[in-house]
């Protein structure tokens, strides 16, 4: 007697790509705005970037319903933190909170591929990259989502920073200027859009600096 398998899955993949680059005093977080299901486009204007705190911005691709639920949990936990500690959460603190939140659903995971970007306690840019169940590490740059396999090798080529594991320790942040980093992100998304069907429509770029957050929107191919 063969086991009956469910023909309904609780998950769906809404596609999309997210990228983040950490600089000496800035952090660039970018994501496309296409939300799709299978071969259909649900929206050309869906933002995958969410501000969690002044210095921490989350960008997630994957199943957007799970992303929305995850975002709500993090927002409420941040509010509690603010009440208890009278200050905003720092990016490394938010990074660990996100990791724990993801792991608590280890046996029914959030189908969310996250990149967290922001500024650390010293004002330097920081990017944290995650897998679906919460393992995380601080990196100089990261990409997640359907176009990540197209983008990562190129970022490795342009930005390959020394591993944080090397001894003597070397800084993993990119030496690029803010303008160069934004330009790189635009280039990289334009290329990914050419070869990934789930990436396109518009590119939303958020630049985080000590004095505030700037947002830029760029058109991508809509086919």
Partner 1 sequence: MKLDTSGFETSVPTIGFGSSSDMLDELSSVPSFDLPHTKEFDGFQKKAVDMLKHAKGTTTLAFIFKGGVMVAADSRASMGGYISSQSVKKIIEINPYMLGTMAGGAADCQFWHRNLGIKCRLHELANKRRISVSGASKLLANMLYSYRGMGLSVGTMIAGWDETGPGLYYVDNEGGRLKGDRFSVGSGSPYAYGVLDSGYKYEMSVEEASELARRSIYHATFRDGASGGVASVYHVGPEGWTKLSGDDVGELHYHYYPVPPAIAEQVMEEATAE
Residues that bind partner 1 (CB under 8 A): 2-3, 5, 7, 99-100, 102-103, 106-107, 129, 131-137, 139, 149, 163-167, 172
Minimal distance, residue 215 CB to partner 1, in Å: 29
CB nearer to partner 1: give 24 or 161: 161
Q: What is the DSSP secondary structure assignment for residue 162, as one 8-state letter?
A: P
CB of 50 closer than 8 Å to CB of 59: yes
Minimal distance, residue 3 CB to partner 1, in Å: 6
Minimal distance, residue 214 CB to partner 1, in Å: 29
Give CA–CA dist 129/20, Å, rounded.
9
Q: Which helix (H) or strand (E) holds 38?
A: none
Minimal distance, residue 211 CB to partner 1, in Å: 30
CB nearer to partner 1: give 30 or 98: 98
Determine if residue 134 is left, alpha or beta; phi over 0 gives left, psi from -120 to 50 gives alpha, anything else beta. Answer: left
CB of 22 closer than 8 Å to CB of 127: yes
CB nearer to partner 1: give 80 or 166: 166
CB nearer to partner 1: give 171 or 219: 171
CB of 30 closer than 8 Å to CB of 16: no
């Amino acid at each position: 007697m063969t086991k009956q398998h469910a023909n309904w899955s609780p998950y769906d993949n809404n596609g999309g790509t997210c990228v983040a680059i950490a600089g000496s005093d800035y952090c660039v977080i970018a994501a496309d705005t296409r939300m799709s299901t299978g071969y259909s486009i649900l929206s050309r204007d869906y933002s995958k970037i969410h501000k969690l705190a002044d210095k921490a911005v989350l960008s997630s691709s994957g199943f957007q319903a799970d992303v929305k639920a995850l975002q709500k949990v993090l927002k409420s936990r941040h509010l509690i933190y603010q009440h208890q500690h009278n200050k905003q959460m720092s990016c490394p603190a938010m990074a660990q909170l996100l990791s724990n939140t993801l792991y608590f659903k280890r046996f029914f995971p959030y189908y969310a591929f996250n990149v967290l970007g922001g500024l650390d306690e010293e004002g330097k840019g920081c990017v944290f990259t995650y897998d679906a169940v919460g393992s995380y590490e601080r990196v100089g740059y990261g990409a997640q989502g359907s176009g990540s396999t197209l983008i990562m090798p190129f970022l490795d080529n342009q930005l390959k920073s020394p591993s944080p594991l090397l001894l003597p320790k070397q800084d993993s942040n990119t030496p690029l200027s803010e303008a160069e980093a934004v330009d790189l992100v635009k280039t990289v998304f334009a290329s990914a859009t050419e070869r990934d069907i789930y990436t396109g429509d518009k590119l939303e770029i958020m630049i985080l600096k000590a004095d505030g957050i700037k947002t830029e929107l760029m058109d991508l191919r809509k086919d």
